[in-house]
Amino acid sequence: MRGEEELSTSGDGRDRQLLRGHVAAARAEQLVQRYADCILRLSYTYLHSTQDAEDICQETLLKALRRQEPFESEEHERAWVLRVAMNACKDILRRNRLRSSVSLEDAPELVAPRVQSEAAEQDRMACVLDAVMRLPASLRIAIYLRYYEEYEVRDIARALGCTEAAVAARLSRGRRRLRGMLKGVVGDEFDF
């Protein structure tokens, strides 16, 4: 096509800039689609709140776009993104000392409508989520990465920057506490 020939032969800086802009937009779109919801869930798991999620997402994905070294794989990219997002969460946690949780209904602009399910199932779902959210942060994050993101222990260790032994210990302690908290609520269906 003529346009493409012009881009490749004319050496016009403006065309190259346009092309770079298209590439950047495509890459930004890809990152947002791939990680925005994940970062939202991570923010909630860390901060008991989705209020800062958009800022954390923006900061994290901007770093990913600015990164010059290529990722080894999609798994490597995902672990890196999670790591940066977790550091941003910890930064906010330290600075704002947020204690109270914010329910989803307080941020209707950010979050898409949830699928309605039976009331009883909703209650059990709320109990399980509440139990996980009452765990200490280090255990909570390990449970989230294992049971929602379905990471293997070695990948969790990589994302958290700790040893595999530490991850295994946190998962074990998290499961033990959850079993105690959910006794009488879920019965034989406990499978954390």
Q: Is 174 exposed, middle or buried (0-12, 13-18, 19+ CB in 10 A)?
A: buried
- φ/ψ of 157, rounded to 5, equals -60, -40
Least distance in Å: CB of 147 to another protein?
5
Least distance in Å: CB of 5 to another protein?
24
- 161 contacts another protein (rule: CB under 8 A): yes
- Binding residue count for another protein, defined by CB under 8 A: 77
- 128 contacts another protein (rule: CB under 8 A): yes
Instruction: Identify which of 161, 149, 162 has the alpha carbon closest to the alpha carbon of residue 78.
Output: 149
- The amino acid occupying position 179 is R
Q: Which is nearer to another protein, 4 or 72 (CB)?
A: 72
Asked whether 133 and 48 are in contact (CB, 8 A), the reply is yes
Residues 45-84, interacting with another protein (CB under 8 A): 50, 52-63, 65-68, 80, 83-84
Considering only residues 1, 3, 73, 112, which one is a binding residue for another protein as defined by CB under 8 A? 112
